[in-house]
Amino acid sequence: MSERAKRRQLGRGLAALFGEAEIGGVAETAASRRVPIELIRPSAFQPRRRFAEAELDALAQSIREKGILQPLLVRPFAGEEAEFELVAGERRWRAAQRVGLHEVPVTVRAFADSEALEIALVENLQREDLSPLEEAEAYNRLMEEFGRTQAALAEAVGKSRSHVANTLRLLSLPAPVRRRLEDGELSAGHARALLAAPDPVKLAAEVVRRGLNVRATEQLVQRRAAAPPPKRRRRDPDISALERDLGARLGLRVTLEAKKRGGALTLHYVSLDQLDRVLDLLRA
């Protein structure tokens, strides 16, 4: 099968991933078999990092009552502790362990690493399980490690190219803003608006504090971006000359800051020896 045909198959959805085909209007599924659950290891290409406890508890209860209705998708794995690696179905695998199942149904398919990541990404996107950052990191990994283009990614996961591009841009946000996005304090819409902000960290805090919606956040960013930068006060040349003179005498960097009442003299040292020398001068 050509690479383009594989991407089209991925774009069709989870039915294509499990080898289902329509024959006379009835879905025919690739043969599955049951394997011991301890022979399966989680995927190194799972883009999802968080699994909610309540979600797993609910799925475990469903499995306890009805069993696993859809086989796990796995690929062969030659390891000491496992024979198969999960490709899709980690939620079911985790929930099955909570129930105490000894065997689970699986469909075994041979996938390359890039295909395993794409399939895991498709499964999570279709179930809307991924956070915006998890989705962005998966896209970035496919591009960096496996040479996927944005156009190929969009085709593979059934998204528009602009969606892929805008999602990838979230990775350029400062770490404090990404943490707020990951924790759910900001939505993907908020985060995309903050990409154009002159100080996204400060504005993110203001957006959360004020509870602004996406539209209000966009307007706030536009106002702050259009505001002229504050004028820097011109330093008194006599103050600068005095700093240089004191610095030369003490062998340290010296700063003088005028305030409403008096001012502040700051001596900057880079070693304890410099500090000891200054203390000796002050005690003399």
Catalytic residues: 90
- Candidates 127, 104, 134; CA nearest to 55 is 127
Provide the residue type at 206 as one letter.
E
The single residue listed with the structure tokens 């003088």 is: 256
Provide the residue type at 49 as one letter.
R
Cα 209 to Cα 192: distance, rounded to the nearest angstrom: 18
Q: How far is CA 141 from CA 8, 114, 234, in A?
A: 20, 9, 48
CB 129 within 8 A of CB 89: no
CB 225 within 8 A of CB 198: yes
The encoded tokens of residue 127 equal 């179930």
Cα 189 to Cα 108: distance, rounded to the nearest angstrom: 38
